[in-house]
A and B are shown apart, each in its own frame.
Chain A
């Protein structure tokens, strides 16, 4: 059973516009959430994270929003750039559970 779900397998956005990626989770014990970015033939790389005590975390063009009551988080990329074209994985973990649960990923394509 997948506890982290990314229901949009792909997203196409014009350069300069906002990309919004969504992620839902089912395990109410999750208290830490991360986004990873993956280019073809490479491993995922850490992008941004958020603890459950916050509802927003910002790092440059990337902002993650957390809605605990809805068990939903989103990643906003503003403005989108061609180098942002990649697969984005949402991940979550619970305290004392030493593993990350990943979603299936969303492929973002930024059009020039």
Chain B
């Protein structure tokens, strides 16, 4: 029974396409996140939501739009995909806003060709 699940696990697409990644957590946590792991392996926060409210937006291009229909779900929609968007995207959740102890999903490997 996966605590934080994200789909798809792999996503291969052409430049210019629009794609979505879905995330769900069954931990009852109030806060959810999207992190990006780039080619240098750093994990960088993109967005965080607390009870469906946007808390953090880390200067991510507006082609990236998160949507939280309820506090158990946080989806990521990416418009007009670019080569530089290729990365691993991790969804995560935490019990509180401070978000220190994160529970991560298994990641979505996005490859833009």
Interface residues of A (CB under 8 A from B): 2, 32, 34, 36, 41-46, 49, 87, 89, 93, 95, 98-100, 102-105
One of B48, B104, B106, B107 near A98 (C-beta < 8 A): B48
In the assembled complex, the CB of A95 is this many whole angstroms from the nearest CB of chain B, namely 8
Report the bound CA distance from A32 to B99 in whole Å. 11
Interface residues of B (CB under 8 A from A): 4, 9, 40-45, 48, 55-56, 58, 90, 92, 97-107
Report the bound CA distance from A41 to B69 in whole Å. 27
CB of B41 within 8 A of CB of A104, answer yes
Q: Which residue of chain B is the closest to A45 with respect to CB atoms? A: B104
CB of A98 within 8 A of CB of B92, answer no
Q: Which residue of chain B is the closest to A44 with respect to CB atoms? A: B104
What would be 16 A-B contacts, judged by CB atoms less than 8 Å apart?
A41-B106, A42-B107, A43-B4, A43-B92, A44-B43, A44-B104, A45-B104, A46-B101, A46-B102, A49-B101, A93-B99, A98-B48, A98-B99, A100-B100, A102-B42, A104-B40
Report the bound CA distance from A87 to B41 in whole Å. 10
